């Protein structure tokens, strides 16, 4: 009976979703946007494959339905409504009060099973919209040909990492969508030479603070964003003080229980570090097969890696010549290796999607056929490594290609594979940027020589 109910609810939810999506995306229904169908289908495959798995194999194996992280958010929302002072007594709730308040007035008002599917399809809808937002950014970055945009979109809409976010049922695709929306508006205003007004900052910082409620470890991105164009000598200027006031106001409004119950701040900070102490999956670069650190010993490494991320963020802030989308991408690339506060599987899909922006400026779009492959070989290898990491990070790859290997050796095999793919990806990025640096240096030398010759003739 439960399975019949689940299938029925899935059909109803999917129907409602399709109607909502049609209303939201009616402007996209033209022949010019047909290329978007393929990545949306890929993304939907992973989402519906996961829900099918949960409703069949997992249901039979466990004797009950696997709820992932959703009960944590659902119970946190209930707790906010009943007794907000004890929010952080909800088991495994490590997030800001804003996320619990959001759940309290949305999902937690519904019966549990209905709320679960509503939450699942909210994440699904956010992921679909994120793909469309990514496409808009590619257009703004002058990736004009549909085939090239499709290539990038195919990478971000595929992979076991997408499946695992649905499996854990966490709103990480909403985080992804918010980041993309902020970046897209930044690029749009930059290209159109628009002046940002107070309404722009109110919306942007409101979304950023809400994003931190779900993913607090991205606080560095907020610092990078705020101080990207502010020089140290102007840090206390009146117009900059307005920005700080907006951020603080949003933080207070969205996390009002921090003000009412100050003890929650201490509980949040303690809970923020708890996943590191309790989870072996928080090791950097998936090196747990080679370097084992017991959960009780993870506090010191976590502080060291957080310090490294802080230094990287400071360098990105001080280096003002880089565009904001590249700064975000470089930080998220660093987070893949040093971000151990959150289990890697929960966030790397967002990180890798942003890393793609590092390759966009180096894509030679003026050539086709064999010349395209020849001119873009490093870019294509780098993109292929990212897709490989997303696709082949699970045991399915091992079972298919290495059926004779004992199951206990799968982790070691996976770690070796990831190390190779990460090395290829980093090598490609370094190669492209070293080449760019040499070209810029050469152009500056030639420009200087030309200026000297012109002065001599004059």
pLDDT band (50, 70, 90) for residue 436: confident
- Tell me the C-alpha to C-alpha distance, in Å, between residue 122 and each of 77, 335, 340: 16, 26, 27
Shared domain for 309 and 429, answered yes or no, is no
H or E element at residue 260: helix 256-260
Asked whether residue 401 carries a pLDDT value surpassing 50, the answer given is no
Cα gap 186→194, rounded to integer Å: 10
Encoded tokens for 422: 């990460």
Give the single-character DSSP code of 64: S
Cα gap 282→288, rounded to integer Å: 9
Shared domain for 100 and 69, answered yes or no, is yes
Shared domain for 410 and 348, answered yes or no, is no
Asked whether residue 184 carries a pLDDT value surpassing 90, the answer given is yes
* CA-wise closest residue to 110 among 89, 132, 86, 81: 81
What is the pLDDT at residue 443? Answer: 63
Q: CA 195, 219, 127, 14: dihedral to nearest 10 degrees?
A: -110
Shared domain for 328 and 215, answered yes or no, is yes
Shared domain for 355 and 393, answered yes or no, is no
pLDDT band (50, 70, 90) for residue 400: very low
Asked whether residue 403 carries a pLDDT value surpassing 50, the answer given is no
Shared domain for 346 and 380, answered yes or no, is no
Q: Which residue has the higher pLDDT, 347 or 188?
A: 188
Shared domain for 49 and 122, answered yes or no, is yes
How many other C-beta atoms are found inside a 10 Å radius of the C-beta of residue 297?
10
Question: Where a domain ends, among 362, 392, 418?
Answer: 362
Q: Which residue has the higher pLDDT, 121 or 67?
A: 121
pLDDT band (50, 70, 90) for residue 411: low
Question: Where a domain ends, among 362, 377, 393?
Answer: 362
HSE of 300 in the Cβ direction (CA atoms, 13 Å)?
4
Q: What are phi and psi of 294, to 5 degrees?
A: -65, 150
Q: How many domains does the chain have?
A: 2
Give tens-digit pLDDT for 237-278.
877 888 899 999 999 999 999 998 888 888 888 766 665 555
pLDDT band (50, 70, 90) for residue 217: confident
Cα gap 320→230, rounded to integer Å: 9
Shared domain for 384 and 259, answered yes or no, is no
pLDDT band (50, 70, 90) for residue 196: confident
Shared domain for 407 and 351, answered yes or no, is no
Sign for the CA dihedral angle at 16, 30, 39, 192 comes to negative
Tokens 């002058």 belong to residue: 142
Residue 401, SS3 per DSSP: helix
pTM of structure = 0.84
Shared domain for 349 and 445, answered yes or no, is no
Asked whether residue 79 carries a pLDDT value surpassing 80, the answer given is yes
Give tens-digit pLDDT for 104-123.
988 998 898 889 988 998 99
Question: Where a domain ends, among 362, 384, 407?
Answer: 362
Mean of pLDDT values over 178-184: 94
CB 383 within 8 A of CB 148: no
Shared domain for 331 and 381, answered yes or no, is no
Shared domain for 450 and 342, answered yes or no, is no
Domain of 417 in residue numbering reads as 363-458
Asked whether residue 422 carries a pLDDT value surpassing 90, the answer given is no
Q: Which residue has the higher pLDDT, 75 or 67?
A: 75
Residue ranges of the alpha helices (H) in 392-409?
Answer: 395-401
H or E element at residue 210: helix 198-214
Burial category of 439 from C-beta neighbours within 10 Å (exposed 0-12, middle 13-18, buried 19 and up): exposed
């Amino acid at each position: 009976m439960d399975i019949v109910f689940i299938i029925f609810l899935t059909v109803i939810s999917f129907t409602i979703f399709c109607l909502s999506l049609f209303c939201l995306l009616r402007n996209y229904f033209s022949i010019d946007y047909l290329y978007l169908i393929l990545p949306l289908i890929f993304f939907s495959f992973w989402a519906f494959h996961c829900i099918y798995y949960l409703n069949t194999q997992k249901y039979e194996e466990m004797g009950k339905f696997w709820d992932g992280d959703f009960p944590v958010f659902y119970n946190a929302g209930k707790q906010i409504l009943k007794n907000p002072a004890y929010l952080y007594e909800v088991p495994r709730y490590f997030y800001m009060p804003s996320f619990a308040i959001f759940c309290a007035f949305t999902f937690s008002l519904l019966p549990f099973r209905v709320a679960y599917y509503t939450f699942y399809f909210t994440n699904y809808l956010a992921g679909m919209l994120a793909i469309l937002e990514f496409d808009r950014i590619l257009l703004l970055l002058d990736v004009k040909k549909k085939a090239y945009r499709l290539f990038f979109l195919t990478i971000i809409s595929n992979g076991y990492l997408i499946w695992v976010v649905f499996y854990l049922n966490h709103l990480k695709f909403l985080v992804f969508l918010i980041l993309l929306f902020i970046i897209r508006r930044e690029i749009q205003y930059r290209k159109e030479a628009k002046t940002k007004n107070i309404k722009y900052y109110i919306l942007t910082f409101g979304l950023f603070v809400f994003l931190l409620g779900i993913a607090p470890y991205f606080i560095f991105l907020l610092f990078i964003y705020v101080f990207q164009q502010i020089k140290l000598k102007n840090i206390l200027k009146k117009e900059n003080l307005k920005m700080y006031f907006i951020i603080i106001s949003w933080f207070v409004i969205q996390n009002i229980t921090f003000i009412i119950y100050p003890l929650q701040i201490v509980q949040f900070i303690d809970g923020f570090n708890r996943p590191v102490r309790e989870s072996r999956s928080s090791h950097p670069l998936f090196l747990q097969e080679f370097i084992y650190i017991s959960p009780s010993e993870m506090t010191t490494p976590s502080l060291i890696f957080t310090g490294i991320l802080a230094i990287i963020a400071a360098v990105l802030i001080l280096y003002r010549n880089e565009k904001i989308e590249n700064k975000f991408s470089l930080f998220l690339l660093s987070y893949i290796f040093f971000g151990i506060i959150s289990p890697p599987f929960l966030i790397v899909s967002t990180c890798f999607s942003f890393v793609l922006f590092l390759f966009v400026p180096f894509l030679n779009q003026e050539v086709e056929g064999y010349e395209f492959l020849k001119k873009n070989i490093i870019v294509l290898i780098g993109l292929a490594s990212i897709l490989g990491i997303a696709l082949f990070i699970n045991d399915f790859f091992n079972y298919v290609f290495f059926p004779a290997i004992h199951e206990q050796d799968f982790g070691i095999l996976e770690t070796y594979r990831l190390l190779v793919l990460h090395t290829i990806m980093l090598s490609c990025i370094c190669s492209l940027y070293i080449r760019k640096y040499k070209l810029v240096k050469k152009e500056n030398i030639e420009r200087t020589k030309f200026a000297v010759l012109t002065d001599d003739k004059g």
